[in-house]
Chain A
Amino acid sequence: MASSIENNNEKLTLKSSDGEEFLVEKHVALQSTLLQNMLDSDCSSADVIPLPKIDARTLALVLGYCKKHADASSSKQGELNSFDSEFLKDMDMGALFNLVLAANFMEIKGLLDIAAQKIADTIKDKPHQEVREIFHVENDYTPEEEAAVREENRWAFEGFP
C-alpha cells in the first residue's frame, strides 16, 4: 500500500515563462497529462522542464490545484468540490483565461473543466453587450449585420434588451 507513494517521491522542476522554477513532486505533476506523457516517454531526463507559455503566477495556481487533487484523490469528493469552487472565486477574467490557457496546454482536464464552466456561466447570465464588455470582445458587426443576426434569432431575444 504505502510503497507506491514512497516510490513516487521523486521531484521534477518546472520553469515558468518568466524564469521562476518550481519543484514539484511527481505524483502532483501527474495531474497533467502533458507532464505524464513526458515522464512516460522519458523526456524528463532534462533537469528542468520549461513551460514557455505559462507565467509564474498562473503556474503557482495550477500547481496548487494539482497538489490538492493529487493528495486528495483518495479522500472525499465533496471536499474537492468545495475546493474547486473556492479556487476560482473572485478571480479576475485575465487570471481565469491565463488558467484556461495553462490547463489546456498542460492537459489538466479537471481544471480546464471548472474554469470553462465558470466562463460559460458568466456568458450565460449576461446580455450580449455586457459579454462584450466583460471579455473585451470587439463588436465586429456593422450595425446592419448585427440587426440581421438579431432578427434571425428574434425568438431568443424576446423580453431581452
Chain B
Amino acid sequence: MEHRAKNKNDEVENQFDRLPDDVVVNFFDKVSDIKWLCRCLVVSKRFSSLIPLVQAVSVKTSAEEWAPFPVPNPDLVIKPLPYLLTLALLPPSLFLNVPPLVFHFKHMQSLNLDLVSDFNADNDSVFKLGAKFTSNLDSLTFLYAAFLSEKTMESEQEENETENEITQYEQIYRVNLATQWLKEAFVVAGNLVSCYPQEPDAREHHHHRFK
C-alpha cells in the first residue's frame, strides 16, 4: 500500500487529467494575470485549449513598459481633464501594450486593468480599470488611488508649495503619468467595445469543443 515518494514517471499521473474542464478553467480564472496565462499556454495542449475560456482577465502594466514621455517643465501645471479632452484617441495598436490575446477570450466576463505606478514603493496601482461583460461591454469602472485626486486638485488650484515631501516636480510627474494612463485606459475601453465580441476569433476553429 505504502508508496515511497521515490516512484517517478510511470506511476505519477497528471494531476489536471483528473479534473473536468470547468474546474481547471477555474484555476486559470484565479491566475487571471494575462502574462501568466500566456506563459501557461506553453505548458500543454490542454492548457492552451482551456485558457481562452477564462472569464476573468487581469492586465498589469508597469510604467517601465510604456514608452517614456517627456517630464514636463516643473513650472507648468497640467490640468488633467482639459488635457484629456485635447487628446485624440489614437489607434490602439500604436499605443497599447495590451496583448492581442485579450481579444481571444470570448468568455471573458471581467477585465481588470492595473496600471501600476513606478513611484510607489508598495506597487500600488494608480488606476484600475474594471470592465464587466455580458454579450457586450456592460459596465466600466475606473478606480484610482486617493493620492491622485488630491494631487489633481492641488495642481488645478495651481498650488505652488511643496507638501508632504513631494516636490512639485514629482507632483506634476505623477499627474502627467496618471493622465497618460487614463488616456490609455480609455483606449483600452474603446478597443474592447469595438473588438468584443463581434470580431470573429481567428483562433476559434482550434477550439472546436466550445460553443
Which residue numbers of A lie inside 8 Å of B, CB to CB?
A: 93-94, 97, 100-101, 104, 112, 116-117, 119-121, 123-124, 127-128, 131-132, 135-141, 146, 149-150, 152-153, 155-157, 160
Find residues 9-35 in chain B having any chain A CB closer than 8 Å to their own CB: 12-16, 18-20, 23, 26-28, 30-35
> With contacts A120-B31, A124-B31 known, is A156 near B16, CB below 8 A?
no
Residues of chain A within 8 A (CB-CB) of B43 are: 128, 131-132, 137, 139
A157 vs B13: C-alpha distance when bound (angstroms): 28
| The one of A97, A124, A152 that contacts B19, using a Cβ cutoff of 8 Å | A97
Which residue numbers of B lie inside 8 Å of A, CB to CB?
A: 12-16, 18-20, 23, 26-28, 30-36, 38-48, 99, 101
Residues of chain B within 8 A (CB-CB) of A141 are: 42, 44-45
Output the least CB separation between B39 and chain A (Å). 5
A72 vs B101: C-alpha distance when bound (angstroms): 43
Are B30 and A156 in contact (CB-based, < 8 A)? no
A139 vs B12: C-alpha distance when bound (angstroms): 15
A101 vs B23: C-alpha distance when bound (angstroms): 9
A100 vs B181: C-alpha distance when bound (angstroms): 39
Among residues of B, the one whose C-beta sits closest to the C-beta of A140 is B45
Are B38 and A153 in contact (CB-based, < 8 A)? yes
Residues of chain A within 8 A (CB-CB) of B34 are: 156
Q: List 15 A-B contacts (CB under 8 A).
A: A97-B19, A100-B19, A119-B27, A120-B27, A123-B27, A123-B31, A131-B40, A132-B43, A132-B44, A136-B15, A137-B15, A137-B44, A140-B44, A153-B41, A156-B99
User: 16 additional contacts, CB 8 Å, given A101-B18, A137-B47?
Assistant: A97-B18, A97-B19, A101-B19, A104-B19, A116-B27, A120-B27, A120-B32, A124-B31, A128-B39, A136-B12, A136-B14, A141-B45, A146-B42, A156-B36, A156-B99, A160-B39
Residues of chain B within 8 A (CB-CB) of A137 are: 14-16, 43-44, 47
A92 vs B18: C-alpha distance when bound (angstroms): 16
> With contacts A136-B12, A140-B44 known, is A157 near B39, CB below 8 A?
yes
Residues of chain B within 8 A (CB-CB) of A101 are: 18-19, 23
Are B26 and A136 in contact (CB-based, < 8 A)? no
Residues of chain A within 8 A (CB-CB) of B23 are: 100-101, 104, 112, 116
Among residues of B, the one whose C-beta sits closest to the C-beta of A152 is B41
Residues of chain A within 8 A (CB-CB) of B32 are: 120
